[in-house]
Chain A
Amino acid sequence: MPIERRTFLRRAAKTGALILAAPIPFAAASRAFAAVPRKPTPPDVLGPFYKRNTPHHTVLRAAGDPGLPLKVSGTVYDRRGQALPGATLEIWQTNAAGSYDMAGNRYRATLTSDGKGGYALESVMPGHYPARVCQHVHYVVRAEGHKPLVTQLYFATDPVFEGDPDKNYRRDPVISSRELVRPVTLSGKPDAITAGVRFDIVLEKA
């Protein structure tokens, strides 16, 4: 049963899941961890709604789309911590109402990591798809000389976790690892809040 919003936030603060702090710029965070050996990103299931040949764009939401604006960014690395420019990221998710676009390409995109391995997209917080427990974004990431990675991004603020993803992430049996549940940064003016998530990808050598 969903808990009341303020209870959820209070509990999140009490468990340490809620942090009131200015966000560190992603670029600075990236530099701080550059060339540090990294664990490969855990894989997760592909799901039935993968579609190939999706458009190359970084803004998935259209003006007026309902839902909390979401910015996802990250860097694609190899296990040695070297950035991987030119990696291909195929990304898809539901709209805010929890529906996938099967006929078209809404909330679907193919991205290419930039010269520093970075990628970024603008979307909305996905809804709860009826056959799944948690909000999620699908990824297929490929880079030359590396194993393709199929994985999913989850949000630590998902109400299903009741503010404590460490304890409750297994409520969605598809979630293969706690590492895939990422913290959410809210920023902006009170009437124009945007959620921000950083999701770095680490690929294994083929």
Chain B
Amino acid sequence: MRAGISGALVLALTAPLAACGGSYHGQAYAHVAGRHEAGGHEHADVAGRHVAAASHRPEHADSAGRHEAADTMVKADAGDGAPHAASYKVSLPCVPLIHRFFRTTRFVLVMCKDRKIRIVRLPSGRVLLKVGREVDGGAFAPDGRLFAMAHKDGRISIYSASGKLTRALMTAPDPETLTFVGNKLLVNRTLWDVDTGRPLRTLKVSFGAVNAVSRSPDGTVLAAAGGDTVVRLYDAHSGKLTHRYTGLELEAFALAFTDGGKRLAVAGANDRIVLLDAATGHAVKTLPHSGPSGVFIARIAPVGAHDWAAVQYRQARSARPAGWLLVNLDTGASRPVCAGTKDVGVSKGKLWCFRIKGQTLMARSETPHT
């Protein structure tokens, strides 16, 4: 008997049943699987994150650990009319149940029917790592030399690019926040030293999560966007908080240093991009509204020259991914890019648009031009 606890509905004697039931007419409700309504994170547009698997150790690794730039290995595609376009196709090991791209553009994570995860190097298509264990998320270090995999049991495994398990951290990760900051790993709000396996420091927010982090190209400044709408700048070496930007009313979900690290582009739920002076934390410019009405910006990545960025926008109604824009950070002018693709990567000044159809991965690049 759960009368006292369930207590779903208490009717005052003045409210007859017939009347109360009618109050729900016209209320649509949806059974939507999804852990977060936020969706404002790098990999939030990938469906079905929970997989079951068995073994712990990587079972296969065939890479020598070389890190070729993806865009040096592609062939020009003369057929699409875009002056700077190039493309390639890769045959994946399977039709993936889950796939996830990484910003470096060099890797894609796929899960096959055998429920095992494969890390596939791009554009060669070689399987770098195959691991069978319950996986919830993953991230590559910017240089591609390390890969962190968050397991459902709360462990994080760090693999080298050659597929060797180098470190296991025991924590309770939110896989959405798993991000490498240089050679440190950010898990939830805490930065871990992957060499020693020890936590280094915890980033402070008044409340909520750390939505995004970014490190300046020279490695001296760490920026973090908090759920409390505050963007904080830290000395990356000492961890000391140096500046706070409190000019946002809504949360920011994406950060990217641009202009050689002089500026920090901030994008979030206010559908504007704000440029901060990375040395002072002061707003330099707020770009005019770019893109569709009511966008909910979720990700930003500098492309090529310092004044361009790729911005993922989302439906304001549902926060679901809606598309990508290439935005000029000086003028705010934008144009849609990567139509029909779910994710992008940036490498050597080019924006790569990724799409998977069946067992084939298709990549196409776009270069900013005025």
Contacts and interface: CB of A to CB of B under 8 A. Distances in A.
Interface of A: 2, 5-6, 8-9, 12, 15-23, 45-53, 68, 96, 98-100, 102, 125, 127-133, 135, 140, 142, 148-150, 156-161, 163-166, 171, 173-174, 183-191, 193, 195
B23 interface: yes
21 contacts: A12-B9, A16-B6, A20-B11, A46-B227, A48-B37, A52-B249, A127-B27, A128-B28, A129-B37, A130-B30, A130-B317, A131-B37, A132-B37, A150-B207, A150-B227, A157-B8, A157-B9, A184-B8, A186-B15, A190-B15, A193-B19
Interface of B: 1-25, 27-40, 206-209, 227-229, 249-251, 253, 269-271, 294, 296, 316-320
Contacts of A158: 29
Contact of B2 (A16, A45, A131): A16
A171 B320 contact: no
B29 A187 contact: no
A46 B2 contact: no
Contact of A188 (B15, B30, B318): B15
List the 7 closest pairs (A to B, CB-CB), nearest first: A16-B3, A17-B8, A156-B8, A183-B7, A187-B12, A130-B318, A17-B6
Contacts of A16: 1-4, 6-7
A18 B8 contact: yes
A45 B251 CA distance: 13
A190 to B, nearest CB: 4
A135 B271 CA distance: 25
B317 A52 contact: no
A186 B29 contact: no
Given A46-B209, A133-B30, A190-B16, A165 B10 contact: no
A2 B28 CA distance: 9
Name which of A52, A99, A159 has the most chain B CB atoms within 10 A of its CB: A52
A166 B2 contact: yes
Nearest to A47: B37
A98 B37 CA distance: 13
Given A48-B39, A129-B37, A159-B27, A20 B13 contact: yes
Contacts of B17: 9
A191 B16 CA distance: 10
Nearest to B226: A46
Given A102-B269, A128-B30, A18 B11 contact: yes
Contact of B207 (A23, A148, A164): A148
Contacts of B209: 45-46
Given A16-B1, A46-B208, A185-B11, A174 B6 contact: no
Nearest to B10: A185
B314 to A, nearest CB: 9
A190 B43 CA distance: 48
Contacts of B316: 100, 102
Nearest to B21: A5
B38 A48 contact: yes
A186 B8 contact: no
Q: Mostly helix, strand, loop or mixed at chain B's interface?
A: loop
A39 B206 CA distance: 22
Contact of A45 (B11, B20, B25, B38): B38
Contacts of B19: 190-191, 193
A8 B24 CA distance: 11
Contacts of A183: 6-10
A2 B30 CA distance: 9
Nearest to A10: B17
The residue among B16, B251, B320 with the most chain A CB atoms within 10 A of its own CB is B251
Given A16-B3, A174-B36, A185 B12 contact: yes
B147 to A, nearest CB: 27
B23 A193 contact: yes
A181 to B, nearest CB: 8
A122 B318 CA distance: 25
Given A102-B269, A131-B37, A186 B208 contact: no
B36 to A, nearest CB: 6
A135 B15 CA distance: 22
Nearest to B250: A51
Nearest to B268: A48
A108 to B, nearest CB: 10
A184 B12 contact: no
Given A52-B249, A133-B32, A148-B206, A15 B2 contact: yes
Contacts of A174: 35-37
A197 to B, nearest CB: 10
Contacts of B251: 46, 48-50
Contacts of A187: 12, 14-15
Nearest to A48: B38
B272 to A, nearest CB: 11
Contact of A48 (B23, B206, B253): B253
